Amino acid sequence: MAENTPLNRSILRSRPVFALSVFYSIPILLPPLFVWMTGILAVPVAYICSRQGWSKEKGVTILAALLPAGILAFFTGRLPIFVALLPLAALGYSLFLSGQRKQSPAQAAACGLAVIAGCLTLCWLLYAQVTGTHPYQHLKAMIDAAIVSAGDMYRTSVDAPADMQAELDRVLESMRVVIPQILPAMLISILLVTVWMNQVLWNALLLKTDPDQAPWPPYSTWKLPEHLIWLPICAAACYIFGPGPWKIISLNALIISGVVYFFQGLAVFLHLLDRLKVPGYFRIILYGILVIQSYGLILLSLLGIGDIWFNLRPEPESREIP
């Protein structure tokens, strides 16, 4: 058997660098085909860190893996795509560190949210300095222009009656007012979903391949801290009884609360399917119904809130969730 020399160890350690470089280069080389990968690119960072058990050289190895992708993005003129991938690499490293510190899923998610939000804020500040435009205001202007353009396209392509045209105008005008008001909640929700998706996929992948390295039990056992229930309660009270400006703030808080408790509701739903031993093919049908139904997400959010009061998962191994 070949001796495990320092050279061999160096070659073995170069494999994760190569793997990460490939993962981060694919969306840069073929963005139309693999842009969907960008949302889950925290998973390979966290997974490779977990499997390799790096210590001092963790950050250096990640930087070495990102360097070829950055060079490739520079020479292909797709540097903005590479910059958009960097917060996900930071998120993956944050999740790995949270797992090493034995933090609960909720604590790990909070740290990951802070990391990715901080990285994106820094990117926005740099963008503002370079372009001289405010990114948030620019985003609102783009959304407003898209709504107006969609309305114009519909009017020119469909010969609708006058009353239908008037109703369309009212809907579009309402969207132009409401969407900017809830845009903060939409952006935070996107970050929450990104953190949750990467955290769940990373933990599930470790449970399948190396259970000893998995920081948490299966997702169906994760549970939110009970005191977090005051967020939707206070938001609902402010929305009903508060003055005008408070209604906008509370509406954003309600949307964020709905997303957070959707995570718990989905965990409860999976737990109930496991308890009832529902077969796989029937699960696929149920998942499809939840996605197709417009109230599916709301029902799962209510299920997550109900789990706080009715303890739908009484197992002692239940833990906290992102």
Write out 110-153 in H/E/C secondary structure: HHHHHHHHHHHHHHHHHHHHHHCCCHHHHHHHHHHHHHHHHHHH
**pTM (2 d.p.):** 0.89
For residue 270, pLDDT beyond 90: yes
Write out the DSSP string of 146-204.
Answer: HHHHHHHHHHHH----HHHHHHHHHHHHHHHHHHHHHHHHHHHHHHHHHHHHHHHHHHH
Reported as a pLDDT band with limits 50, 70 and 90, residue 54 is low
> For residue 21, what are the contacts with CB-CB under 8 A and spacing of at least 6?
65, 66, 67, 68, 69
In Å, what is the CA distance from 260 to each residue of 44, 191, 224? 24, 11, 9
Instruction: Compute how many other C-beta atoms are within 10 angstroms of the C-beta atom of residue 17.
Output: 19
pLDDT of residue 318: 44
Query: Rounded to an integer, what is the distance from CA 30 to the centroid of its chain?
Result: 22
The reported pLDDT for the residue numbered 55 is: 54
Write out the H or E segment, with its range, that includes residue 319: strand 319-320
The upper half-sphere exposure of residue 239, i.e. CA atoms within 13 Å in the direction of its Cβ, equals 14
| H or E stretch at 320 | strand 319-320
Are 224 and 294 spatial neighbours (Cβ–Cβ below 8 Å)?
no
Task: Return the domain boundaries, the chain.
Answer: 1-212, 217-322
Phi, psi of 101 (to 5 degrees): -85, 5
Q: Which amino acid, residue 109?
A: A
Of the two residues 134 and 187, the one the predictor is more confident about is 187
Average pLDDT score over residue span 210-226? 93
pLDDT of residue 289: 87
Region 29-38: mean pLDDT is 84
Q: What is the pLDDT of residue 32?
A: 82
- Cα 56 from Cα 62, distance rounded (Å): 12
For the record, the structure tokens of 64 come out as 């070495």
Measure the CA–CA gap between 247 and 240, rounded to whole angstroms.
8
Q: Write out pLDDT tens, residues 277-289.
A: 999 889 989 988 8
Lowest mean pLDDT among 83-87, 158-162, 248-252: 158-162
Residue 114 — pLDDT band, cuts 50, 70, 90? Answer: very high
| C-alpha triplet 218, 220, 225: angle, nearest 5° | 100
